[in-house]
Amino acid sequence: MNSILQKLRTVYEARPTLFAVLLITAALTIFYSNSFTADWHYDDFHHIKENINIRKISNIPMFFTDATTFSRNPQTRMYRPLLMATHAINYQVGIWTNRDGYDVVGYHVVNFLFHLVSSLLVFFITLFLFRRRIRLDGMDPALPAAFAGLLFGLQTINTETIVYISSRSSGMATMFLLAGFYFYLKATQDQETTSIRFLPLALSTFMYLCGFLSKEIAVTLPGMIFLYEIFLNRRWMEGRSLPAIMTNLTIRLAPYGVVLVGILYTRLQIYGENLASRFTEKGGTQAAADWVSQLATQSRAVVFYIREWFLPTGLSIDKPFQVTRSFSDGKVLLSCLVITLIVAAALRYWKKHPLITFGVLWFFLALLPTSLFRLNVVINDHRLYLPGFGFVLVFTYVVAKLYLRFRSDGGWYFKTFITICLTILLFMGLGTFKRNMAFATEETIWKDVILKDRNSVRGYNNLGIYYEQNGDFDRALQHYQRTIKLAPMFPNPYINVGNVYHKKKGYENAEKWMKRAIQLDPKSALANYNLGNILREAGKTEEAIGAYKTALKYNPRYIEAANNLANIYFKERKYPEAIQYYKQALFIDPTFAMSYYNIALAYENLGQPAVAIANYEKFLRFWLGDRRYISLASSKMQALQKQLGGPQGN
Strand ranges (E), 386-491:
none
**pLDDT of the residue at 650:** 32
3-state secondary structure labels for all residues of 492-546: HHHHHHHHHHHHCCCHHHHHHHHHHHHHHCCCCHHHHHHHHHHHHHCCCHHHHHH
**pLDDT of the residue at 282:** 56
> pLDDT tens digits, residue range 393-414?
999 999 999 999 888 777 788 8
Q: From residue 134, how far is each of 72, 128, 232, 235 by CA, in Å?
A: 49, 9, 8, 13
> pLDDT tens digits, residue range 189-220?
987 788 899 999 999 999 999 999 999 999 99
Tell me how far apart the alpha carbons of residues 133 and 219 are, in angstroms, rounded to a whole number: 25
Tell me how far apart the alpha carbons of residues 567 and 560 are, in angstroms, rounded to a whole number: 10
Model confidence at 355, pLDDT cuts 50, 70, 90, reads very high
* Cβ–Cβ under 8 Å, residues 218 and 212: yes
Q: From residue 76, how far is each of 163, 246, 433, 555 by CA, in Å?
A: 22, 41, 32, 11
Q: How many residues can be counted in the chain? A: 650
* DSSP H/E element including 390: helix 388-409
Question: Percentage of the chain with pLDDT > 70?
Answer: 95
Q: Which of 273, 299, 281, 321 is nearest to 368 (CA)?
A: 299
Model confidence at 648, pLDDT cuts 50, 70, 90, reads very low
Mean local confidence (pLDDT), 225-254: 92
Q: What is the DSSP string of 238-289?
A: TT--HHHHHHHHHHHHHHHHHHHHHHHHHHHHHT---HHHHHHS-BSTTS-S
Q: Can you say whether the dihedral through the CA atoms of 65, 68, 70, 76 is positive or negative? A: positive
Q: Check residue 377 and give left, alpha or beta (phi > 0: left; psi -120 to 50: alpha).
A: beta
- Which residues are CB-neighbours of 529 under 8 A, at least 6 positions away? 547, 548, 551, 558, 560, 561, 564
**pLDDT of the residue at 321:** 85
The H helix count followed by the E strand count for the chain is 30, 0
Tell me how far apart the alpha carbons of residues 84 and 68 are, in angstroms, rounded to a whole number: 11
Q: Can you say whether the dihedral through the CA atoms of 88, 94, 95, 99 is positive or negative? A: negative
**pLDDT of the residue at 107:** 97
**pLDDT of the residue at 3:** 61
Tell me how far apart the alpha carbons of residues 168 and 440 are, in angstroms, rounded to a whole number: 17
Q: What is the DSSP string of 545-579?
A: HHHHHHHHHH-TT-HHHHHHHHHHHHHTT-HHHHH
**pLDDT of the residue at 144:** 95
Q: Exposed e or buried b for every residue in 516-545, given b needs 16+ CB within 10 A?
A: bbbeebeebbbbbbbbbbbbbebebeebbb
**pLDDT of the residue at 428:** 97
* Cβ–Cβ under 8 Å, residues 202 and 230: no
Tell me how far apart the alpha carbons of residues 322 and 379 are, in angstroms, rounded to a whole number: 9
Q: Which of 49, 87, 81, 86 is nearest to 68 (CA)?
A: 81
Evaluate if pTM is beyond 0.95: no
Tell me how far apart the alpha carbons of residues 362 and 344 are, in angstroms, rounded to a whole number: 14
> pLDDT tens digits, residue range 54-104?
988 889 999 999 888 888 877 778 889 999 999 999 999 999 998 889 999
**pLDDT of the residue at 1:** 46
| Largest distance between two CA atoms of the chain | 105
Q: Which of 560, 559, 532, 535 is nearest to 547 (CA)?
A: 532
Tell me how far apart the alpha carbons of residues 366 and 126 are, in angstroms, rounded to a whole number: 18
- Tell me: pLDDT of 447 over 70: yes
